[in-house]
């Protein structure tokens, strides 16, 4: 094993980071399982792609409206405790969705509990994102981000597959209860983290304090460019919300096939994250990211046209591998360039872009599929992604010129 490869594992000696990594893995795996369950159950009950799109919209709204206050809270309160209590909210919402599924209550009740999940995510994302640099030394931060991405993607692989298998054997209520258990285990692990003594910001709550994050992001062009690119790439090119439609009506693969399709994208992301963790930092990070997003758009187009399950799975795998490059570059830049006293607020803005691209993108895909066809929605999104890369490269030329990650 080379010295470069051995350096990739040094961060795993950090007890706090291992607890953080394991907790986030369990929490993410449970929520990925539930994503498969809620999409499968709602589509069987309604046969409407618009209903699937509304799932993303309902979870996006709290992230949008609570971005500024959640970032302020993350900078002025214990980030560890915020993460702990938000996992408790996830547990409660999961049990609520289990009740809706068990009693066959009206579909709008599901949206109420999804609103709770979105609220928990709105507060947990900036707190957890800002907690990571507190428990990992700066020189290991880029490695920690790669391993954290790997853990997330591994959970996103096992979660959908396990969810699909469980749905083929048990009713959806089983998946919701398992998600509640995962959230409880994550809360216990997060409770055990002992971050170094860091005095939270004493800045008083005001409009000026809320605007610190947006002001920093919009004044740091390289951060603004990378998160904007991620926003439009996933907003236009995301096909995840329509996977139940493709699995059921186009590929005819059933719930197990749906789970495998859901797992393909994060599997590609996880494999790429492991590769990146063992490589030196990108020497031309900007150009690498731009070409990766172009690859994401092309793979999305292939998936939209494909009627072969294996080709569709491979296209999603390549989407995940391409997306992993963009995620690691963007997240590394945000954490390295942001001062600790405003990390929560900047992470909240970053989470808003992520939430916009994932959740609102799901609504966009469902709405366009409802107006036209699912194939048209996915293919047009892939083309739009490639056009977004061209525009970003022209508007922010510093992205094309950006060199070694961290310089």
Structure confidence by residue, pLDDT tens digits, 266-285 = 788 778 877 776 666 667 77
pLDDT of residue 281: 64
For 18-46, what is the mean pLDDT? 86
Residue 2's φ and ψ, nearest 5 degrees, are -70, 165
| Cα 380 from Cα 89, distance rounded (Å) | 37
Mean pLDDT of 40-56: 77
Q: Report the percent of the chain where pLDDT is more than 90.
A: 9
Identify the weakest region by mean pLDDT among 42-56, 200-214, 268-282.
200-214
**Using 50, 70 and 90 to split pLDDT, how confident is the model at 13?**
confident
- 202 in a domain, yes or no? no
Determine, yes or no, domain membership for 32. yes
- Model confidence at 384: pLDDT above 80: yes
Q: What is the pLDDT of residues 334-351, one digit of tens each?
A: 777 777 677 777 777 777
In a domain, 281, yes or no: yes
Q: Which of 14-18, 187-191, 402-406 has the lowest mean pLDDT?
A: 402-406
Q: Which residue has the tokens 């961290």?
A: 406
The C-alpha atoms of residue 297 and residue 358 are separated, in whole angstroms, by: 15
d(CA 301, CA 378): 7
Model confidence over 71-82: pLDDT tens digits? Answer: 888 878 888 889
**pLDDT at residue 180, as a whole number:** 93
The per-residue DSSP string of 244-258 comes to HHIIIIIS--HHHHH
Number of folded domains that form the chain: 1
pLDDT score, position 188? 92
Domain CATH for 341: 1.20.1250.20
pTM reported for the whole predicted model:
0.67
pLDDT digits (tens, 9 = 90+) for 92-119: 999 999 998 888 888 888 888 999 998 8
**Within-domain flag for 198:** no
In a domain, 83, yes or no: yes
The whole-number pLDDT of residue 134 equals 81
In a domain, 396, yes or no: yes
Where does the pLDDT of residue 136 fall: very low under 50, low under 70, confident under 90, or very high at 90 and above? confident
pLDDT number for residue 96: 93
Alpha-carbon distance 79 to 174, whole Å?
A: 31
Does the pLDDT value for residue 6 go beyond 90? no
Q: Is residue 201 part of a domain?
A: no
Look at residue 222 and tell me if it is in a domain: yes
More confident residue, 117 or 3: 117
In the three-class reduction of DSSP (H, G, I as helix; E, B as strand; rest coil), residue 48 is classed as coil
Angle at Cα 377 formed by Cα 330 and Cα 64, nearest 5°? 45
Q: What is the pLDDT of residue 272?
A: 83
Q: Residues 255-265: what's their mean pLDDT?
A: 78
For residue 358, the model assigns a pLDDT of 64
In this prediction, residue 5 carries a pLDDT of: 45
**What pLDDT is attached to residue 2?**
44
Number of Cβ atoms within 10 Å of the Cβ of 320: 25
- Mean pLDDT over all residues of the chain? 80
Q: In this prediction, what percent of the chain has a pLDDT beyond 70?
A: 88
Q: Which residues of 210-249 are buried (b: 16+ CB within 10 A; e: fewer)?
A: bebbbebbeebebbbbbbbbbbbbbbbbbbbbbbbbbbbe
Give the pLDDT of residue 202: 62
Q: Which domain holds residue 37?
A: 3-193+207-401
């Amino acid at each position: 094993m080379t010295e470069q490869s051995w350096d990739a594992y040094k961060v795993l000696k950090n007890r706090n980071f291992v607890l953080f990594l394991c907790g986030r893995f369990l929490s993410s795996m449970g929520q990925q399982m539930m994503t498969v369950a809620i999409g499968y159950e709602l589509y069987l009950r309604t046969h409407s792609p618009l209903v699937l799109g509304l799932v993303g919209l309902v979870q996006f709204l709290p992230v949008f409206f609570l971005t500024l206050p959640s970032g302020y809270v993350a900078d002025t309160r214990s980030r560890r405790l915020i993460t702990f209590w938000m996992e408790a909210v996830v547990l409660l919402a999961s049990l609520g969705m289990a009740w809706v599924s068990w009693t066959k209550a009206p579909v709008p009740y599901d949206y109420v509990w999804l609103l709770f999940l979105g609220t928990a995510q709105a507060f947990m994302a900036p707190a957890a994102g800002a907690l990571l640099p507190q428990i990992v030394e700066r020189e290991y931060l880029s490695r920690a981000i790669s391993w954290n991405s790997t853990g997330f993607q591994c959970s996103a692989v096992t979660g959908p597959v396990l969810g699909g298998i469980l749905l083929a054997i048990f009713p959806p209520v089983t998946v919701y209860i398992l998600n509640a258990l995962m959230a409880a285990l994550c809360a216990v692990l997060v409770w055990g983290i002992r971050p170094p003594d860091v005095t939270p910001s004493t800045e008083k709550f005001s409009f000026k304090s809320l605007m610190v994050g947006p002001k920093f992001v919009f004044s740091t062009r390289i951060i603004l460019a990378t998160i904007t690119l991620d926003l439009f790439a996933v907003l236009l090119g995301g096909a995840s919300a329509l996977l139940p439609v493709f699995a059921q009506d186009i590929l005819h693969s059933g719930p197990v096939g749906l789970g495998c399709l859901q797992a393909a994208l994060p599997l590609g992301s996880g494999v790429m994250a492991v590769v990146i963790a063992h490589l030196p930092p990108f020497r031309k990070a900007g150009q690498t990211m731009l070409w990766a997003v172009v690859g994401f758009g092309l793979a999305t187009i292939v998936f939209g046209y494909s009627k072969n399950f294996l080709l569709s799975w491979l296209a999603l795998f390549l989407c995940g591998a391409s997306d992993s490059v963009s995620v690691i570059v963007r997240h590394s830049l945000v954490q390295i360039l942001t001062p600790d006293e405003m990390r929560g607020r900047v992470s909240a803005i970053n989470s808003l872009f992520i939430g916009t691209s994932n959740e609102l993108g799901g609504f966009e895909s469902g709405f366009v599929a409802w107006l036209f066809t699912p194939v048209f929605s996915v293919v047009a999104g892939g083309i739009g992604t490639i056009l977004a890369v061209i525009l970003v490269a022209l508007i922010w030329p510093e992205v094309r010129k950006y060199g070694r990650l961290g310089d």
